[in-house]
A = this chain, B = another copy of it.
Amino acid sequence: MIKQDIVKIIPLGGLGEIGCNMTIFEYQDKILIVDVGFKMPEESMPGIDYVIPNSSYLKGKEKNVVGIVFTHGHYDHIGAVPYIISKIWRRDLPIYASPLTKGIIIKRQLEFSKLPKLNIDEVRNGSIVKLKPFTIEFFSQNHNIPDNLGLIINTPLGNIVHTSDFKFDPAPVNDLPTDFKKLESIGNRKVLLLMSDSTGAEEEGHSLSEKDIFQNLEKIFQQANGRIIAATFSSLINRIQQMVTLAEKYKRKVIVEGRSMKTNIEISRQLGYFKIKKGTLIGKKNMRDFPDSKIIVLCTGAQGESSAALMRIVNREDKTIRLQKGDSMVLSSSVIPGNERSVQNLKDNILRQGAKVFHYKMMDIHAGGHAQKEELEKMIRIMKPKFFIPIHGQYSMLFSHAQIARETGILEKNIVVAENGQIVDLDPQRIFVEAKTVISNHIMVDGLGVGDVGEVVLRDRKMLAEDGMFVIVAVIDRKTGQVKGSPDIISRGFVYLRESKILLGETRKRVVGIINRTTGSEGAANMTYVKDEIRNKIGEFLFLKTQRRPMVLPVIIEV
């Protein structure tokens, strides 16, 4: 068989969604993996901890993996490593990441026992790595975490540029401004395919510079007479840095609340990506040693997460830090779709306690990390690719990004809006989506279980949440087929049992009636039928009485 002279690009996650970023590049059986991210579950997945990409495409091809490269240290790009790495790991598997990304991956790996210790080689702006048949060059890209790298994937058929998450920032934090000269030199090297971040593709104009954010945050520092309590994502290292820089400028001591934020600050600081003076950080217990006007609390929980540090403070569960009049509360993060109500409740509860609230809708104290329409167009014009695939984002974002590409003059047939699991064939002449797809349904992680919660379990959870459950335990005399004593009923989430004695009494009577009518003297043979009868008849009866449909589960014991 002649090997096909094409590069296959197979997104296993990140297309048509936010998160779970993981892409396969394959040339004549050799496989390069870019990013291994996870995402948080949707509301329709109760009890699920994370969602990870399905890596079964790699089964049997483990030896063909020439390496894994990571673009940056956010969990939607590295979070599934502990779950997926052991399936393809071998002692000499090359893994590349920037120093900060490496630090975060290794730290996360430590949370899981029994996993292999990863050997990750450091790369940085300008690094070139050979993973035959691919050569990967790394280049700096601005985002909201330091040490973010775009990729030039040199294949035997041409150059593929993968932007990573990015935005153009003329004045970033702890980072150099976007180097357009460098980007242009990449664009001049003939880019066959551009794969570019679509998260901001529905937003008009240009993303805010971190400098603007800094200036607005500074206004809050200038006005605040009391404490400042600032909440953001623990992964927004750059925003946290801004707060610390301002704290030092305005002589406030910094208290950090929330384990993940502490960890991220620690890692970044050790690696030199976070600047904080000695003495700036103080422990919570020392808060009272300083006047309120000299304190800032940095914490997680700007999304209204019920278990986060901010929620404890606002709900008065934190014994040391109590919200008080005069506090200025800064919510410096956008609201993730689905969290709007929690954030609204959070805001209301802060205001009720007399504190001030500053949030990103009132002034520009938060910027996303993603390029918006103007920047995306500029990136395409700089790279001048022949082919274009929008990546990272909901379908509507990919769609909008494709429109932008069209407007820059890229031919319709050269733009592919792909979906997870599709196989995109690329050669110097054309780009093409195969009819065949690979398995790409995501895997749910719940506690120690990876993939063991499927549709059946989820459906049951949702049913249980709606109207609860109703277990009926009846003991039958094997000889007579008649019920012994009164059936037991165990019900939760349906009605308040103490106030439903009449309903339960009637139900018991009906259960006895159904059993005594349907069992013969040899009960055993008909037990399935008896159970079905109870399930249906009692289900109907309860619905008639309550208009609710609890899960009815009959248990029949023969003695």
- CB proximity of A269 to chain B, nearest CB, Å: 31
Residues of chain A from 485 to 526 with CB closer than 8 A to chain B in the complex: 488, 490, 492-496, 499-500
A447-B548, A557-B475 are contacts. A496–B457 as well, Cβ < 8 Å? yes
Residue from B349, B446, B462 within 8 A of A548 (CB atoms): B446
Asked if A499 and B452 make an inter-chain contact with CB atoms under 8 angstroms apart, the answer reads: yes
Contact partners of A338 in chain B: CB under 8 A: 338, 340-341
Q: With an 8 A cutoff between CB atoms, is A279 at the interface?
A: no
A467 — nearest CB in chain B belongs to which residue? B47
Q: With an 8 A cutoff between CB atoms, is A435 at the interface?
A: no
Q: With an 8 A cutoff between CB atoms, is A67 at the interface?
A: no
Asked if A447 and B340 make an inter-chain contact with CB atoms under 8 angstroms apart, the answer reads: no
> Using a Cβ–Cβ cut-off of 8 Å, how many residues does chain A contribute to the interface with B?
64
A465-B46, A466-B47, A546-B449 are contacts. A454–B399 as well, Cβ < 8 Å? no
One complex includes copies of this chain to the number of 2
Q: With an 8 A cutoff between CB atoms, is A2 at the interface?
A: no
Asked if B496 and A452 make an inter-chain contact with CB atoms under 8 angstroms apart, the answer reads: yes
Asked if B465 and A461 make an inter-chain contact with CB atoms under 8 angstroms apart, the answer reads: yes
Asked if A473 and B348 make an inter-chain contact with CB atoms under 8 angstroms apart, the answer reads: no
Contact with B along A329-340 (1 / 0, CB 8 A): 000000001101
Contact with B along A454-468 (1 / 0, CB 8 A): 101110111111111
Q: With an 8 A cutoff between CB atoms, is A1 at the interface?
A: no
Q: With an 8 A cutoff between CB atoms, is A471 at the interface?
A: yes
- CB proximity of A99 to chain B, nearest CB, Å: 32
Asked if B447 and A464 make an inter-chain contact with CB atoms under 8 angstroms apart, the answer reads: no
Chain A: interface secondary structure? mixed
In angstroms, Cα B166 to Cα A175, docked, is: 50
Asked if B449 and A495 make an inter-chain contact with CB atoms under 8 angstroms apart, the answer reads: yes
Residue from B344, B466, B553 within 8 A of A396 (CB atoms): B344
Contact partners of A156 in chain B: CB under 8 A: none
Q: With an 8 A cutoff between CB atoms, is A32 at the interface?
A: no
A42 — nearest CB in chain B belongs to which residue? B341
Contact partners of A337 in chain B: CB under 8 A: 340-341, 344
Contact partners of A42 in chain B: CB under 8 A: 341
Residue from B348, B352, B471, B557 within 8 A of A557 (CB atoms): B557
Asked if B454 and A496 make an inter-chain contact with CB atoms under 8 angstroms apart, the answer reads: yes
A347 — nearest CB in chain B belongs to which residue? B396
Residue from B47, B447, B545, B559 within 8 A of A448 (CB atoms): B545
Residues of chain A from 419 to 468 with CB closer than 8 A to chain B in the complex: 446-449, 452-454, 456-458, 460-468
Contact with B along A307-329 (1 / 0, CB 8 A): 00000000000000000000000
Asked if A456 and B555 make an inter-chain contact with CB atoms under 8 angstroms apart, the answer reads: no
Residue from B341, B454, B493 within 8 A of A43 (CB atoms): B341
- CB proximity of A94 to chain B, nearest CB, Å: 32
Contact partners of A276 in chain B: CB under 8 A: none
- CB proximity of A440 to chain B, nearest CB, Å: 15
Q: With an 8 A cutoff between CB atoms, is A229 at the interface?
A: no
Q: With an 8 A cutoff between CB atoms, is A551 at the interface?
A: yes
Best-surrounded residue of A341, A460, A493, A545 (most CB of chain B within 10 A):
A493
Residue from B352, B460, B473 within 8 A of A473 (CB atoms): B473
Asked if A492 and B473 make an inter-chain contact with CB atoms under 8 angstroms apart, the answer reads: no
Residues of chain A from 277 to 326 with CB closer than 8 A to chain B in the complex: none
Q: With an 8 A cutoff between CB atoms, is A351 at the interface?
A: yes
Q: With an 8 A cutoff between CB atoms, is A414 at the interface?
A: no
In angstroms, Cα B419 to Cα A351, docked, is: 13
Q: With an 8 A cutoff between CB atoms, is A83 at the interface?
A: no
In angstroms, Cα B466 to Cα A492, docked, is: 14
Q: With an 8 A cutoff between CB atoms, is A360 at the interface?
A: no
Residues of chain A from 511 to 559 with CB closer than 8 A to chain B in the complex: 545-548, 551, 553, 555, 557, 559
Asked if B496 and A469 make an inter-chain contact with CB atoms under 8 angstroms apart, the answer reads: no
Q: With an 8 A cutoff between CB atoms, is A235 at the interface?
A: no
Q: With an 8 A cutoff between CB atoms, is A233 at the interface?
A: no
Q: With an 8 A cutoff between CB atoms, is A186 at the interface?
A: no
Contact partners of A499 in chain B: CB under 8 A: 452
Q: With an 8 A cutoff between CB atoms, is A395 at the interface?
A: yes
Q: With an 8 A cutoff between CB atoms, is A357 at the interface?
A: yes
Asked if B496 and A47 make an inter-chain contact with CB atoms under 8 angstroms apart, the answer reads: no
Q: With an 8 A cutoff between CB atoms, is A394 at the interface?
A: yes
Q: With an 8 A cutoff between CB atoms, is A16 at the interface?
A: yes
Asked if A46 and B466 make an inter-chain contact with CB atoms under 8 angstroms apart, the answer reads: yes
In angstroms, Cα B339 to Cα A340, docked, is: 9
A341-B43, A457-B494 are contacts. A351–B559 as well, Cβ < 8 Å? no
Residue from B349, B456, B490 within 8 A of A471 (CB atoms): B490
Could you name 7 residue pairs across A and B whose Cβ atoms are closer than 8 Å? A202-B361, A347-B394, A453-B496, A461-B465, A461-B468, A461-B493, A464-B464
Q: List the 6 closest A-B pairs by CB distance, nearest first.
A: A447-B547, A465-B465, A337-B340, A348-B395, A464-B464, A46-B465
